[in-house]
């Protein structure tokens, strides 16, 4: 994900290309990780689905055009699996960061077998069980967003709880989309605090409940964007709700984390560590 803070950085006057025979998401994610290590702002062009010689030559033309215009070598992150396409793109005037070819050779040597050179194989999964699980998990998470349904909670891998706007919904959707985790979420609301009890559908599933909390200041800021000046968004009310929610989670022995300075990805990864063994075979 691009970092908006970088908008204020000096322009590199240089274009970065992400070239892939698939979606280019891997090349782009990885390229971003590297480029954020430099305090410069780059123009960025994604060239996905480069899966023929013709398209590879077209990509080279675009890279060389950028060079001609800017006078600086474009940076090219590529995940081209087919060696003949990679060779074509490699002849462009860009600085070539070849994510596949760089690592395939040492892997082939270590594993003692040749790579299969399958194009876009890691994304070509629309027909697999894994993929079906993801879609099913997304549907599950949507149906169980915000305490909408008590049905089938026993099928949930995790149930997130927390005050309104603490980050539950994006986290459950990310867990479903990225990892195929069935995640329900329930808001903790003033009525629960008055009763001093978790929402009634939950206690039986305590083993898979995980909490999100947030600082009252940040919560008030987020809620004010939605309902400016409301009691709901007031710092006083946010303090009350957060205190009550944390007290309740403590009392119930529910693990929680603070979402305040964390991205969806960081929250989801932390939860995954808590609820799942980190070992799987693939």
Please tell me whether residue 261 binds a second copy under the rule CB under 8 A.
yes
The two structure tokens encoding residue 81: 């699996």
Do residues 18 and 77 lie in contact, with contact meaning Cβ atoms separated by under 8 Å?
A: yes
The nearest distance, CB 132 to a second copy, in angstroms, is: 8
Interface with a second copy by CB under 8 A: which range of 148-156, 189-197, 234-242, 269-277?
269-277
The nearest distance, CB 216 to a second copy, in angstroms, is: 17
In this structure, how many other beta carbons lie within 10 angstroms of the beta carbon of residue 123?
14
Whole-angstrom Cα distance, residue 160 to residue 154? 14
The distance from CA 275 to its chain's CA centroid, rounded to whole angstroms, is 18
Whole-angstrom Cα distance, residue 20 to residue 16? 13
Backbone angles phi, psi at 11, to 5 degrees: -75, 135
Please tell me whether residue 87 binds a second copy under the rule CB under 8 A.
no
Please tell me whether residue 194 binds a second copy under the rule CB under 8 A.
no
Please tell me whether residue 124 binds a second copy under the rule CB under 8 A.
yes
Interface with a second copy by CB under 8 A: which range of 85-93, 192-200, 201-209, 274-282?
274-282
Please tell me whether residue 104 binds a second copy under the rule CB under 8 A.
yes
Cα dist from 242 to 12, 103, 135, 190, 214, whole Å: 44, 48, 33, 10, 7
State which of positions 132-171 bind a second copy (CB under 8 A).
134-135, 138-139, 142, 145, 169-170
| Burial track 41-63 (b if 16+ CB lie within 10 A, e otherwise) | bbebbbbbebbeeebbeebbebb
Please tell me whether residue 8 binds a second copy under the rule CB under 8 A.
no
Please tell me whether residue 30 binds a second copy under the rule CB under 8 A.
yes
* Interacting residue with a second copy among 53, 69, 105, 125 (CB under 8 A): 125
State which of positions 220-249 bind a second copy (CB under 8 A).
none
* Interacting residue with a second copy among 164, 178, 224, 237 (CB under 8 A): 178
State which of positions 50-69 bind a second copy (CB under 8 A).
none
């Amino acid at each position: 994900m691009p970092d908006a803070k970088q908008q204020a950085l000096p322009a590199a006057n240089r274009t970065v290309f992400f070239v892939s025979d698939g979606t280019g998401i891997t090349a782009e994610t990885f390229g971003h990780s590297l480029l954020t290590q430099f305090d410069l702002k780059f123009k960025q062009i994604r060239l996905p689905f480069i899966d023929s010689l013709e398209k590879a030559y077209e990509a080279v033309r675009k890279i060389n055009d950028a060079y001609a215009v800017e006078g600086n070598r474009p940076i090219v992150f590529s995940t081209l699996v087919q060696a003949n396409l990679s060779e074509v793109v490699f002849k462009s005037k860009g600085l070539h960061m070849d994510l596949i070819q760089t690592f395939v050779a040492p892997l082939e040597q270590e594993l003692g077998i040749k790579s299969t050179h399958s194009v876009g194989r890691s994304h070509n999964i629309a027909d697999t069980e894994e993929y079906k699980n993801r879609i099913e998990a997304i549907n599950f998470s949507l149906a169980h967003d915000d305490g909408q349904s008590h049905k089938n909670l026993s099928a949930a891998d995790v149930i997130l709880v927390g005050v309104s706007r603490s980050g539950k919904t994006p986290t459950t959707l990310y867990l479903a989309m990225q990892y195929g985790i069935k995640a329900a979420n329930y808001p903790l609301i003033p009525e629960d605090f008055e009763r001093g009890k978790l929402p009634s559908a939950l206690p039986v599933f305590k083993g898979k409940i995980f909490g999100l909390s947030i600082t009252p200041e940040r919560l008030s800021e987020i809620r004010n964007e939605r309902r400016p000046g409301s009691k709901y968004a007031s710092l006083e009310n946010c303090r009350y709700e957060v205190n009550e929610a944390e007290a309740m989670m403590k009392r119930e022995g529910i693990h929680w984390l603070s979402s305040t300075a964390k991205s969806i990805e960081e929250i989801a990864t932390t939860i995954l560590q808590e609820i799942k063994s980190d070992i799987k075979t693939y």
